Amino acid sequence: MLLYPLIIGALSMLSPFMGLILLFVFMARTIGVSLIKPVQAIMLFFAVPAIMLFMDTDISTRLMALDAIAGVGLTTGVFLSVLKRNHVLSEAFMISFIVIVAYGLGRAYLFGDYHNQVFDRGMLAMKQQLPQLMDNAAIEQTMPLWKSVMPAVWIVSQGLALLIGYAIFQKLLHIPNTLQNMRFPGLYNLLIIGIIPLYLVQPTKMLFVNALIALCMIPLLQGVAVLTQKMKLIFANRFVLSIFMIIITLYANVLLVLIGFADMWLSKQNSIPGGTTA
């Protein structure tokens, strides 16, 4: 069992997404040690990424190592530390997600040129392999947009891994605090308001866009939780409710973000974020 973090650390360099999920599974399996000594519980995780970070000078390897260290290891370490301190799952999730956002934006700033080069090479390869698809005018027009929001795409992807790991963590520990009951403090909204000045300065406009997309994931989750609880009064069948919520999430996500944003300000439950404790 002690070697699992070492193996997960190596795998996280290849896929931070899967690494984060697997590390949450490990934490659930070793919850006693993980909560009492969170740093010691995942210490071996950092061994392989740290060695590769300092031993290999290739920029792609260093980026992979940093993704594992900060996007996976630091994120789970913060989750355990917050959970140990106050035993509130939703708050631990929220602060861990903020770590992912902060690292993701820093990642884009430090490796922006490299990201652009990789994106351009990928588009060139697709044009060579799928020329008919890539000659589409609509695709050509949207490529610059996708290129500019790649930092947010990475953050949201890693945030989704955090959400999956969080759900599995609860299930393995038989904690009756489902995703539908997630509640976040209204103070989180101040982060969204606080980044607005970035839009006023031309060089930081795209940083604002990426940060806004990433930070809206928390209000989105709260909006889903609020609407799900309301829709339970209409749809008694879980399957029908799930299909309905999937459709709403895909096609009305902006509305869900606004619902979550408003509920985080107005809900009386904000005094006890997360509701159910671990």
Residues 165 and 37 in one domain: yes
Is 123 a member of any domain?
Answer: no
Residues 195 and 216 in one domain: yes
Domain that holds residue 163: 1-112+154-175
Taking alpha carbons only, the member of 175, 156, 162, 160 closest to residue 23 is 162
Give CA angle at 92 (169, 243), nearest 5°. Answer: 55
Residues 188 and 270 in one domain: yes
Residues 40 and 162 in one domain: yes
Q: Report pLDDT digits (tens) over 241-271.
A: 889 888 888 888 899 999 999 988 886 544 4
**pLDDT for residue 177:** 61
Range of weakest confidence among 27-36, 75-84, 151-160, 218-227? 27-36
**pLDDT for residue 271:** 47
pTM for this model (two decimals)? 0.88
**pLDDT for residue 69:** 95
Provide the angle, in degrees to the nearest 10, between the axes of the packed helices 4-14 and 59-68: 130
Residues 7 and 79 in one domain: yes
Amino acid at 142: T
Is 124 a member of any domain?
Answer: no
Find all residues with CB under 8 Å of 78, minimum gap 6, and list them: 92, 95, 96, 99
Residues 249 and 203 in one domain: yes
Residues 209 and 162 in one domain: no
Alpha helices in 87-215 (DSSP H): 89-110, 112-129, 131-134, 137-148, 150-172, 189-194, 205-215
**pLDDT for residue 137:** 62
Residues 68 and 199 in one domain: no
Give the 3-state DSSP-derived string for 26-57, with helices as H, strands as E and coil as C.
Answer: HHHHCHHHHHHCHHHHCHHHHHHHHHHHHHCC
Q: Report pLDDT digits (tens) over 7-17.
A: 999 999 999 99
**pLDDT for residue 140:** 66
Question: In this structure, is the dihedral angle defined by the CA atoms of residues 202, 123, 107 and 222, taken in order, positive or negative?
Answer: positive
Number of domains in the chain: 2
Is 108 a member of any domain?
Answer: yes
**pLDDT for residue 120:** 79
Residues 212 and 278 in one domain: yes
How many angstroms separate the CA atoms of 23 and 168, rounded? 11
**pLDDT for residue 134:** 60
CA 38 to chain centre: 20
**pLDDT for residue 138:** 60
